[in-house]
Chains A and B, each alone.
Chain A
Amino acid sequence: MNLEYYSNLAFVTSVVLYALAMFAHAAEWAAARKVDVATPSPRVSEPALAAAGSVAGRAGSAADRAFESAAAEGMLRTRIEIFGRVGITLTLIGFGLSVSGVALRGLAADRAPWGNMFEFTTTAMVLIVGAYLIMVWRLGLRWLGLPVTLLATIGNGLAVTVFYVAVAPLVPALHSVWFLIHIVAAAIAGAAFNVGGLLAILYLVKKRAEERGTVRGYLAWLPTSRRMDVLSYRFHAFAFPLWTFAVAAGAIWAEYAWGRYWGWDPKETWALVTWVIYACYLHARSTAGWRGTRTAVIAIVGLASFWFNFIGINLLVSGLHSYAGV
């Protein structure tokens, strides 16, 4: 049995499924555009329906028309709900395939599957989608569906096309227990930064709409910008100590591997730059005049720096962390 073949098959299929899930969520957004009553969640469909009915009744002239429009709205809501559920189902299957892809990759290589960019990206995507699915299940954050599936499609898509390298053992420099600690911490922190960054982007969009008074359609389904800001902060607050730990673990490993804990290698430098930007984020939240929009922008800059460190430094700059193997 060729484990590597099945692993790749699982990843490629997951890209297709994530893309389909993204279309389903896009359809959900598009359908939501026609619903003009701002209700926080499509799940509370009956009171919402009643509210919609009463609004229509006040606006319309005949009771029939009110009922008709309420019924149409109800159908629309059902359609939105169906699109949303299809999206979640596809994401779930794609997630299952990604998990098995990572597991098979590990079995095929007979080691932890985090040795190069391809493996790191696919693992980080598993973590991001996993975190998202847990939030859907526990907190009902389905409105994150579109951005997360978009990210997962791009992430896994890049992994199987640009970053792909065949299964191979590790170079001796990676033979260390710190390999696991450093990379797992970096992957989890990275996943949380990504979700936090997405929330920061949504926050900016929502906030703008709130200020202009143009909260309609899908935006109406998003929580208030204040709540999104808090959610985004929680992800960053979770990720930041972990990122600190990942950088520290990297430094300890560097002491073992290269005899110095810090050498201003491009990867190390950008890990520090990313760290400092997120430190700015945390400080900005407790500084008057920086809260809100500016803080969200810092979070997005931090995310950009994270991605540059991951992709740009691996592919453009040569250094001790040149593990892409592309």
Chain B
Amino acid sequence: MTDTQTRDRQPAAAEAENRPDLPALGPRGAVRFVWTQLTSMRTALLLLFALALAAIPGSLIPQRKVSPIGVSDFLQNHPVLGPIYDKIGMFNVYSSPWFSAIYLLLLLSLVGCIIPRVGVYARALRALPPATPRNLSRLPAYAKADVTEPAGLLEEAAERLRRQRYRVDLREGSVAAERGYLREAGNLLFHLSLVFLLLGVAIGSLFGFRGTSVVVIGQGFANNLTQYDDFSAGASFQDSDLRPFSVTVKDFRVKFETGSVQRGAARLFSATVDVVDRPGATPRSATLEVNKPLRIGGTKVHLIGHGYAPRVTVKDGSGNVAYSGPVVFLPQDGNFTSAGAIKAPDARPERLAFQGFFLPTALLDEQGPRSVFPDALNPALFLNAWYGPPKVETGVPENVYSLDTAGLTQFKDETGDPLRYALQTGDVIELPDGKGSIQLDGWVRWVKLQIGETPGLIITLTALAAAVLGLCLSLFVRPRRVWIKVRAEAAGAIVEVGGLDRADARAGLTGDVAELAAGLSGAGSASNGSAVESKDRGQT
């Protein structure tokens, strides 16, 4: 702003040429100009604001990484806005180019600001306290006192200041002292830690991986890619980085609140697992809980979810068992109304398929079947059934949790309504026309394991700790400069103390300066109670 105003007052000749009245920059000058602008505090401030603003949409608009279903719902509900949002990266805010641009610029600005300051600080560390001002009474805090015996007073003053952990320089007729060098050190430490923090995060996202796997109780998980339900890894991750361990889930205990308050809230999740750290190793038993992940080398296994898998036996039209075992159903609500599909592609003469809900505590009323409690108090399986000609194995992956009814015919009653079956444990349903049967043998729980590795975690955590430490130093250490002069008078002498706090929010400077003056006056004169004049020029 000031620049513009100055230019406005330029002679008309310069205006007439319609050229800014500035020296030509040249390429080097231009770079220097951009660098100066970028590393200025004002730019840092604006970038910080931009970062805060840019982070907000990601918390209000569904994000692909966190909730892909939310994103597809949003796209469906907002046919106009959705694609626009998609185009400008609103569904991937935190990996979008504009968000990255802001934090990379901020990082650059930070580095550009810090590096020169490290040099300045290094020089300041070796420097002596600054020269004594001629007129101490013009400093923010000032006190003077009479002394009768000035000899050795400055040495005494220097000693006192040294004990108060000042850096002291004894000069001709005065003492200069400074303390609080750690403030700038803390400041630099904090900002450097942020760089390392981002470095740790970068390493983690480049070399790390994370995936989940649903494991039915009694079954196991072996750490290779085929066993993951979903998997994401950084650009530099290699499949061979997966440690060859395996985990068998032996038991899983769950408790839910049965009292009237927060009825149905989870109270306990605890899985007992056997871990084989590497092929051939003896299994060790371990407990897996929500806040207690398993550690296998650098890999961590977390318990992040659970659900129900009804155990069924499907027999085909020929009377042979076409499928037998647990089928994982996915919970749809807090009471574990679970949806899933049972597929028996090998049933002959015609393949069979079922889709429906498993309800751990089933209630059937006018709202339809639903579960009213998350624990299995009254388990029931509600199914619709389909049949169709055998399908050729194509190897095309299909969703195991839902049924693609293409090429299938639904079982219907005489009136054409789809047949609905409700099974309780032990029930067998015979399908029409001798096409087969399905039996609910029981149910079993499954757990969702998250397996992941975050290299660079130690860098991130150390940087975090250093950042907090640096922050505390930079905010709580108060740099202060004190000068003491002894001036000979007709009768005795006068000791003058001046002080200057270099940080905002100074506290107790006036008091300390007055105390110092009084103390020196007491030390330098036999008579106690000499008058101390002090004043405070600051407006704290």
Contacts and interface: CB of A to CB of B under 8 A. Distances in A.
Interface of A: 165-169, 171-173, 175-176, 178, 224, 226-227, 230, 233-234, 237-238, 240-241, 244-245, 248, 251-253, 255-266, 269-270, 272-273, 276-277, 279-280, 282-287, 289-290, 305, 313, 317, 325
A134 to B, nearest CB: 16
A176 B268 CA distance: 13
A273 B539 contact: no
B510 to A, nearest CB: 14
B468 A230 contact: no
A257 B471 contact: no
B468 A244 contact: yes
A172 B45 contact: no
B41 interface: yes
Contact of B540 (A175, A230, A259, A263): A230
Contact of B66 (A248, A264, A272, A289): A264
23 contacts: A167-B261, A168-B257, A168-B265, A169-B257, A230-B504, A241-B468, A241-B472, A245-B468, A251-B464, A256-B292, A259-B293, A260-B210, A262-B201, A264-B58, A264-B59, A264-B65, A264-B93, A273-B59, A280-B48, A283-B41, A290-B45, A305-B52, A325-B262
A233 B476 CA distance: 12
Given A244-B467, A276-B52, A283-B45, A172 B210 contact: no
A290 B59 CA distance: 29
Interface in B28-65: 41-42, 44-45, 48-49, 51-52, 55-56, 58-60, 63, 65
Contacts of B467: 244, 248
A287 B42 CA distance: 7
Contact of B267 (A172, A234, A255, A265): A172
A175 B287 CA distance: 15
B239 to A, nearest CB: 20
Nearest to B451: A259
B164 to A, nearest CB: 22
A317 B60 contact: yes
Contacts of A248: 464-465, 467-468
B505 A237 contact: yes
Nearest to A286: B41
A258 B201 CA distance: 16
Contacts, number: 140
Given A167-B261, A251-B464, 19 more contacts: A165-B261, A166-B262, A172-B289, A173-B291, A175-B291, A241-B472, A248-B465, A255-B454, A258-B304, A261-B457, A266-B60, A269-B56, A276-B55, A277-B52, A280-B45, A283-B41, A283-B48, A287-B42, A317-B60
B259 interface: yes
Nearest to B476: A237
B452 interface: yes
Nearest to A172: B290
A175 B268 CA distance: 10
A167 B465 CA distance: 35
Contacts of B94: 264
Contacts of B257: 168-169
A92 to B, nearest CB: 27
Contacts of B55: 269, 272-273, 276
A263 B304 CA distance: 14
B269 interface: yes
B460 interface: yes
Nearest to A263: B66
A248 B346 CA distance: 53
B539 A226 contact: yes
Contacts of B476: 237
Interface of B: 41-42, 44-45, 48-49, 51-52, 55-56, 58-60, 63, 65-66, 93-94, 201, 210, 257, 259, 261-262, 265-269, 289-293, 300, 302, 304, 450, 452, 454, 457, 460-461, 464-465, 467-468, 471-472, 475-476, 504-505, 539-540
Nearest to A178: B291
B454 A168 contact: no
B262 A168 contact: yes
A61 B265 CA distance: 78
A241 B41 contact: no
B454 A287 contact: no
A269 B59 contact: yes
Contacts of A252: 461, 464
Contacts of B93: 264
Nearest to A320: B66
A262 B55 CA distance: 13
Nearest to A233: B505
B471 A172 contact: no
Contacts of B201: 262
A67 B189 CA distance: 63
Q: Which of A251, A279, A305 has the most CB of B within 10 A?
A: A279
A230 B41 contact: no
Nearest to B290: A172
A169 B267 contact: yes
A273 B267 contact: no
Contacts of B267: 169, 171-172
Contacts of B259: 168
A248 B257 CA distance: 31
B505 A259 contact: no
Contacts of A287: 41-42, 45
B302 A172 contact: no
A136 B259 CA distance: 44
Contacts of B539: 224, 226-227
B266 A171 contact: yes
Contacts of B210: 259-260
A172 B268 contact: yes
A274 to B, nearest CB: 8
Across the A-B interface, give the 5 residue pairs with the lowest CB-CB distance, nearest first. A266-B59, A269-B59, A259-B302, A176-B291, A276-B52
Contacts of B262: 165-166, 168, 325
A323 to B, nearest CB: 11
A240 B59 contact: no
Nearest to B254: A172
A282 B461 CA distance: 24
B457 A273 contact: no
Q: Which of B45, B269, B468 has the most CB of A within 10 A?
A: B45
A240 B471 CA distance: 8
A168 B261 contact: yes
A251 B201 CA distance: 12
B190 to A, nearest CB: 9
B261 A172 contact: no
B475 A237 contact: yes
Contacts of A245: 468
Given A165-B262, A260-B210, A255 B42 contact: no
Contacts of A171: 265-267
Nearest to B538: A226
A5 to B, nearest CB: 14
Nearest to A290: B45
Contacts of A178: 291
Given A259-B450, A265-B66, A240 B540 contact: no
Q: Which of B304, B450, B468 has the most CB of A within 10 A?
A: B468
Contact of B460 (A166, A233, A261, A286): A261
A264 B66 CA distance: 8
Contacts of A285: 504
Contacts of A237: 475-476, 505
A283 to B, nearest CB: 5
A248 B457 CA distance: 13
A173 B305 CA distance: 11
A234 B289 CA distance: 42
Contact of B290 (A226, A257, A260): A257
